[in-house]
Structure 1
Amino acid sequence: MKILNKIYSVYGLVIFALVFIVLLPFFLLAIFVKPLEKTAGFLNHVWARLLFFFLFLNRSKIVYEEKLSRKQRYIFCANHFSFLDIPTMGLINHNFKFIGKSSLKKIPLWGYMYSKLHILVDRDSLRDRHASWVKCKEAVENGYSIAFFPEGGIMSKNPPELARFKEGSFKIAIEEQIPVVPVTIHNNHLLLPDKKPLIMHRGTISLKVHKPIWPNGTDDLAIHELKDKVRSVIEEELKLTHHAGR
């Protein structure tokens, strides 16, 4: 079984590369042809669907508590326990930019695309954090939604327990008065655990897109309340699914 999982993991890496290379010309058009930039969200969705189809993870289970408006800007906020979480968020067919770690830029070709179409941040640099903050506000003002992992990376030592949430994107939601959509990714930490060597397992991609939570106020207290509400929703869903044995 271990040998089969290793073979499947290598296969998964090859599929990741091949699907991206096939879509690369379209991503490049989105990068260099300004009117096509907003097709990037749809391309992310296509990439996610194709990737999971060829990984035999196509039986994805996506539950929406409420239908999302195509015209509304949102801040999508998800737990982060696995490298599968980024493509999993792409299953949400909405026009958003990711906020991700600057280290993602190091991935050949894919890192270049990601850095041009999304927002990367070096959290150890105060200047870089401020620059990413400005880019996020500009993206929202230009009609984009934002997707981020409030834990700031794969930080939890014992998934599905959440690590501490950072406040950055909640501040944007408060300043722009747009809703935050909690997203619970149920079991990616079982399909691709954050352990070395990285070994992938077959299974079902499962996520729940919760009801949007609107900001209540514009001060620091409102930021903390919004963060706590979003964390509570995701935490409760993780507890329910964990006890149910998903």
Structure 2
Amino acid sequence: MIRFLRKTHTYLYLGAVMLVFIPFYPFLYFLTRNPKKYYKQIVFCRKWISILATIVVGIRFKIEYEDKTSIDWSQPYVICPNHTSILDITALTYLCRQPFSFMGKIELLNNPVTKMFFKSIDIAVDRKSKISSFKAFKKADETLKNGKSIVIFPEGKIDDEFPPRLHEFKSGSFRLAIDNKVQILPVVIQDAWKILWDDGMKFGSRPGTVHIKILKPIDTETITQEEFDELQDYVYHKMNFHWKHSNTI
């Protein structure tokens, strides 16, 4: 019975996403014809589609800061969150107070909702293709140079392992940050997987609160390419500490 209820909740959530998306569609169709001009408006629509859909099914978000005063939302960041759930997308739209672009897997172009954003403001990447990866990171580099933040899940994907753990990071987000001398903003999404793991098709989902911890930004202004591995390891171990703490207490 519990499994049935959780599966039902997942379908209600997916239905809520479509239900909220439909009224936005005419506006998005117009706005996405010129994404450079209407970038902020498209980001606004994406934010409220995702947030309203979770509100309908009783999912909420709560943010905790390691040091709130250290974050300046007027400047661009390379935002690095862990990834265990499709709710992570909503978590990022909820916490980020500035326009930003996601970098995500190319399969998101097959989804009728996410397709509209990944063909306009977000960046789709086929990690199996070196050419696709090169083009995606070039576009991400241009986005940062234009003063906008980029969200990259450094694990690269939601793993098949359950319960999830923090997997080894890929290098792309750190290279972008160092090349552009922008700060890295680590984000630990602590328990989204307990509410909806992956896409919810295996274990379903339930109402609840997703807790998010935003860590102190990490400056890359003086970091050299020789210190690259050290930076990547530092961010991983710091995020892993907070991840383990939140999932063992």
TM-score (norm 2): 0.90
- What's 2:49 paired with? 47
- What's 1:87 paired with? 90
User: Which of 232, 241, 244 is equivalent to 2:246?
Assistant: 241
**Post-superposition offset of 1:243:** 1.9
**Post-superposition offset of 1:241:** 0.9
Q: Is 1:150 aligned to residue 154 of structure 2?
A: yes
Listed one character per residue, the Cα deviations across residues 163-207 of structure 1 (whole Å, up to 9, x for unaligned) are 110001110100111000000001111111237435112221111
Within 5 Å, give how 1:133-172 maps onto structure 2: 133-155=137-159, 157-172=161-176
**Post-superposition offset of 1:136:** 0.6
The number of residues matched between the two structures is 243
Q: Is 1:222 aligned to residue 224 of structure 2?
A: no
Tell me, in whole angstroms, the C-alpha distance in 2 between the residues paired with 1:100 and 1:156. Answer: 17
Q: Is 1:178 aligned to residue 187 of structure 2?
A: no
Tell me, in whole angstroms, the C-alpha distance in 2 between the residues paired with 1:189 and 1:71. Answer: 30
Q: Is 1:106 aligned to residue 107 of structure 2?
A: no
Q: Is the 8 A contact 2:6 2:203 kept in 1?
A: no
**Post-superposition offset of 1:28:** 3.0
Structure 1 unaligned regions, length at least 5: none
Q: Is the 8 A contact 2:126 2:132 kept in 1?
A: yes
Change (3 A) 1:196 1:226: same
Q: Is 1:17 aligned to residue 18 of structure 2?
A: yes
- What's 1:187 paired with? 191
Within 5 Å, give how 1:109-120 maps onto structure 2: 109-120=113-124
Q: Is the 8 A contact 2:168 2:236 kept in 1?
A: no
Listed one character per residue, the Cα deviations across residues 33-54 of structure 1 (whole Å, up to 9, x for unaligned) are 3322123333333223212211
1:48 corresponds to which letter in structure 2? S
Q: Is the 8 A contact 2:3 2:203 kept in 1?
A: no
Tell me, in whole angstroms, the C-alpha distance in 1 between the residues paired with 2:224 and 2:68. Answer: 28
**Post-superposition offset of 1:216:** 5.6
- What's 1:37 paired with? 39
- RMSD over aligned Cα atoms: 1.9
SS for the counterpart of 2:63 is: strand
Q: Is the 8 A contact 1:182 1:212 kept in 2?
A: yes
Tell me, in whole angstroms, the C-alpha distance in 2 between the residues paired with 1:130 and 1:207. Answer: 31
SS for the counterpart of 2:38 is: helix
User: Which of 174, 199, 207 is equivalent to 1:202?
Assistant: 207
- Report % sequence identity: 30
Q: Is the 8 A contact 2:16 2:56 kept in 1?
A: yes
Tell me, in whole angstroms, the C-alpha distance in 2 between the residues paired with 1:115 and 1:198. Answer: 30
TM-score (norm 1): 0.91
Q: Is 1:77 aligned to residue 119 of structure 2?
A: no
Q: Is 1:231 aligned to residue 236 of structure 2?
A: yes
